[in-house]
Amino acid sequence: MSDPASHGPATRRRVLGDAHVDRAEAAATPFDAPFQALITDAAWGHVWSRDTISLRERSMLTIALLAGLGNDHELALHIRATRNTGASAADVQEALLHVAIYAGVPRANHAFKIAKETFAAMAREAEETKPE
């Protein structure tokens, strides 16, 4: 990869979806625009765009780390991103079982709750947008 940072915007959109990225960009202000640029460059360009492991594997790692650290809002966002990364509900379940052992049962318990709610919301949304 010649310039990993140049892949950041496309990778961010591929994983999180256009709607999320469009909302984040529209909400950016001069105060937080440098932060948006930083995460697009560093997280999405230099880490998520690497071809050493799959998006599915990165998704599972990210979900486990977010759950283990208690970053609930970001956890729900990345549960939603599984529809774009190829990580299944079973993959998320496995990641959260690891969280229980390595980061603690309370963190995993709360993460399972968030994952169940998020997957249920995603199923409802898919049903609502299904052509009749």
Q: What is the residue whose two structure tokens read 């979900």?
A: 63
pLDDT values of the chain reduced to their tens digit, one per residue, 132 residues: 457 668 999 999 999 999 999 999 999 999 999 999 999 999 999 999 999 999 999 999 999 999 999 999 999 999 999 999 999 999 999 999 999 999 999 999 999 999 999 999 999 999 998 887
**Domains of the chain: residue spans and CATH:** 1-52 (no CATH), 53-132 (1.20.1290.10)
Rounded to whole angstroms, how far apart are CA atoms 96 and 77?
Answer: 15
Q: In 10 A of CB 8, how many CB atoms?
A: 22
Q: Which amino acid is at 72?
A: D
CA distance 110 to 131: 34
Range 100-130 burial, b when 16+ CB lie within 10 A, else e: beebeeebbebbbebbeebbeeeeeeeeeee
Quote the tokens at residue 17: 């979806």
Q: Do 85 and 55 form a contact (C-beta atoms < 8 A)? A: yes
